Amino acid sequence: MTIKDQEDTNKTSKLVIFAFTLSILYWIYLFLISQMLIIQDALGYKELGELIANKGWLEYFSAGPRREPFYPFLVSISLRFADTTPFSFETLQKFQQLLFLFATQILSYKLLKNLKVRPFFISLAILYIGFSPALINTYLCLFSEIAILPFMIATILLSSKVWKNIASYIEDTSSSTKKIILNSLMLGFLFLILTLTKGIF
């Protein structure tokens, strides 16, 4: 690598770090000044979360699950912590959903890097995720879309990895199949989470 290439890499790395930092500062600002919107469908998610937290899974399934169970389960976790900590349910749920948004940003960065996208455009994508009104809305509302985002990108990344594992094994059948089996099981788990979050998957 030449000195010029090294300088370009340093510049782009700083740009990516700046994009992440700016996004996180914006999210923290919104976290502190915004209230979580719980209306319409969001009320249903909260009711299901309360059902799981107070009466357990047996009651949830005996009543006939009205929605996919993964997001109500996440809501129930926040409700349980709200009962044992000084933080409100809304604060805990916002924090949980902020982590999902950050995970989406990190995994998107990894995906774009794997695709060999130029760092400048990666930075723009990171900023878009950080400031997109649609994504910010899912972060601050009690809707299940925020929970599925990182799992979707993780599924794409792991699918690519499994494909490469299989291709390597075809080229050299003497190589170990452990990676293929392990990554395939993990991929199956991700698809299970996707289905339990949104039945369309």
DSSP result, 25-94 = HHHHHHHHH---B--THHHHHHHHHHHHHHHHHHHHHHT--SS-SHHHHHHHHHHHHHHHSSS-HHHHHH
pLDDT number for residue 42:
87
Whether 69 is in a domain gets the answer: yes
Whether 181 is covered by a domain: the verdict is: no
Contact between 159 and 112 (Cβ < 8 Å): no
Count of alpha carbons within 13 angstroms of residue 129, beta-carbon side = 26
Secondary structure class of 144 (helix, strand, coil): coil
Note whether residue 191 is domain-resident. Answer: no
Q: How confident is the model at residue 6 (pLDDT cuts 50, 70, 90)?
A: low
Q: What is the pLDDT of residue 37?
A: 78
Residue 166 inside a domain? The answer is no
DSSP-assigned letter for residue 173: T
pLDDT value for 109: 95
24 CA to centre of own chain = 15
What lies within 8 Å, CB to CB, of 52 at 6+ separation is: 60, 69, 72, 73, 75, 76
Residue 195 lies inside a defined structural domain of this protein: no
Q: Residue 144: CA atoms inside 13 Å, Cβ hemisphere, count? A: 24
Query: Does some domain include residue 9?
Result: yes
Instruction: List CB contacts of 38: < 8 A, sequence separation 6 or more.
Output: 46, 90, 141, 142
pLDDT of 144 higher than 60? yes
Distance between CA atoms of residues 81 and 96, nearest Å? 12
Q: 48-90 pLDDT, tens per residue?
A: 999 999 999 988 888 776 788 999 999 999 999 999 999 999 9
Check residue 166 and give its pLDDT: 87
pLDDT at 146 over 70: yes
Residue 113 lies in a domain: yes
Asked if residues 78 and 89 have their Cβ atoms less than 8 Å apart, the reply is: yes
In the predicted structure, residue 201 carries a pLDDT above the cut 70: no
Q: Which domain holds residue 125?
A: 3-143
pTM: 0.87
Q: How far is residue 153's CA from residue 135's CA, in Å, rounded to a whole number?
A: 15
Determine whether 28 is exposed, middle or buried from the number of CB atoms within 10 Å of its CB (0-12, 13-18, 19+).
exposed
In a domain, 134, yes or no: yes
pLDDT of the residue at 2: 54
Quote the number of domains for the chain. Answer: 1
Question: What tens digit of pLDDT does each residue of 110-134 get?
Answer: 999 999 998 889 999 999 999 999 9
